[in-house]
Homo-oligomer: A and B are copies of this chain.
Amino acid sequence: MVGNCQSVPMIGVATGAAIAGAWSDRHRQPPTFPALVCVLGFTETALIPGISAAGQTPSDRQITALADGEFLLRGIQPQYHYALPPLTAGASPALISRALIEALALPLYVFDAGLPLPRLPEMIDLGGTPARCLTTGQAMTPQMVAHLWEQGWSWGAKLSSQYPWLIIAECVVGGTTTALALCESLGIPARDCVGSSHRQSNHTQKWSLVQKGLAHLPPQADPFTCVAAIGDPMQVVVAAMALRASQTCGVLLAGGSQMIAVYAFGRAIAQWRQLPWRPEQIVVGTTRWLIEDQTAQIHRLAERVQCPLIYTQLDFSLSRHPALRAYEQGFVKEGVGAGGCAIAGHLLAGWRNSEMVDIVDRLADRWAKGM
């Protein structure tokens, strides 16, 4: 009884300690199972008519983030507190994320960074409030930005000590407009680049709103001043959480333009505050549908930001649900970490397209039957 295996104390070593220890280390399952974080936020920019297809009316769009969060947390239920709003075409991307949360048994943390309606009890309160419309140039107070940064930072520390990596997703309706504004405010040309929940990206509308917001900013404003003027609460929380977590663990920012903007913002803060920036730890992960969206240029935006961008090849052509096949016609495309969850399915379980489609189809079957 020489002693115990150092890395696995439940295994004793009777003889051959060197070989036995190395053998045990090689055959140990590394703790590579991540947690999924979803940060919900709101900007009154979402109330502008036509700004987003994530909810048909302004009042629907106040519910979208809460409904997405509820569906991620609770899955298919006989009734909902906040039901997913009807979309013009296509199923909510929350179906994709939830199917993979169930299939991979991902630990899930849903945060309320500032919502216009009461959160569910299982959502974690960060003490934030919705941002005002970015056209005001006063989206959030500096105090609120500082508070949300602290909250994101401390949760980043907590989660990175418990998980080997994090998938960080978001839901902010109108968030691609605040993403465009944040990139531009940081000096990154993003006009006509950001994605959209519309089938055809509404660049002109977004650009004119962003111009109004940016007009309030002094030249060479620091990143906190920028986000306070034209940003949203999710951007602050996710940037802080990712920056802190990436000191010790990997981070997948699950989303498109919004996460590329968060990446640029986090790096700008790191430079400004002289915090360590670990580029090898953070990637943005999204869907092929967004990458292939001919009406946006997400790929170009990532190149300008110099941000690693990966995507799932998930293809719903052979799904049995028309609402999922609609993704192949350019509807919906991404949301609440759908692309990041699919990437986790490829990484953790090695699932290929047919397995992924089957996993989402089976949840959609139950969704169609309401059970």
Residues in A lying within 8 Å of B, measured CB to CB: 1, 4-5, 8-16, 19-20, 22-24, 26-34, 165, 250, 252, 279-281, 283, 288, 291, 298-299, 302-303, 306-314, 343, 346-353, 356
Contacts and interface: CB of A to CB of B under 8 A. Distances in A.
Given A9-B352, A15-B309, A20-B310, 11 more contacts: A8-B346, A8-B347, A10-B313, A11-B343, A12-B312, A13-B309, A16-B302, A16-B306, A19-B308, A24-B310, A27-B347
A173 B129 CA distance: 71
A310 B13 contact: yes
26 contacts: A5-B310, A8-B346, A8-B350, A9-B352, A10-B314, A10-B346, A10-B351, A10-B352, A10-B353, A10-B356, A11-B343, A12-B311, A12-B312, A12-B313, A13-B310, A13-B311, A14-B291, A16-B307, A16-B309, A19-B279, A22-B280, A23-B308, A24-B347, A27-B34, A29-B350, A31-B350
A15 B28 CA distance: 33
A5 B9 CA distance: 36
A81 to B, nearest CB: 34
A20 B302 contact: no
A34 B29 CA distance: 11
Across the A-B interface, the 4 shortest Cβ-Cβ residue pairs = A16-B308, A14-B309, A20-B308, A10-B346
Nearest to A29: B348
A244 to B, nearest CB: 18
A309 B17 CA distance: 8
Contacts of A29: 32-33, 347-350
Which interface residue of A20, A23, A314 has the most chain B CB atoms within 10 A? A23
A177 to B, nearest CB: 22
B250 A14 contact: no
A310 B32 contact: no
Contacts of A279: 19
B31 A283 contact: no
Contacts of A349: 29
B347 A11 contact: yes
A298 B350 contact: no
Given A10-B351, A352-B10, A299 B15 contact: yes
Contacts of A303: 15
A9 B346 CA distance: 9
B27 A165 contact: yes
Contacts of A310: 5, 11-14, 20, 23-24
Nearest to A309: B14
A4 B353 CA distance: 14
Contacts of A27: 32, 34, 165, 250, 252, 347
Contacts of A11: 310-313, 343, 346-347
B308 A15 contact: yes
A16 to B, nearest CB: 3
A23 B250 CA distance: 8
B20 A28 contact: no
Nearest to A283: B23
A309 to B, nearest CB: 4
Contacts of A307: 15-16
B10 A302 contact: no
Contacts of A280: 19, 22-23
A336 B329 CA distance: 55
Nearest to A249: B27
Contacts of A343: 11
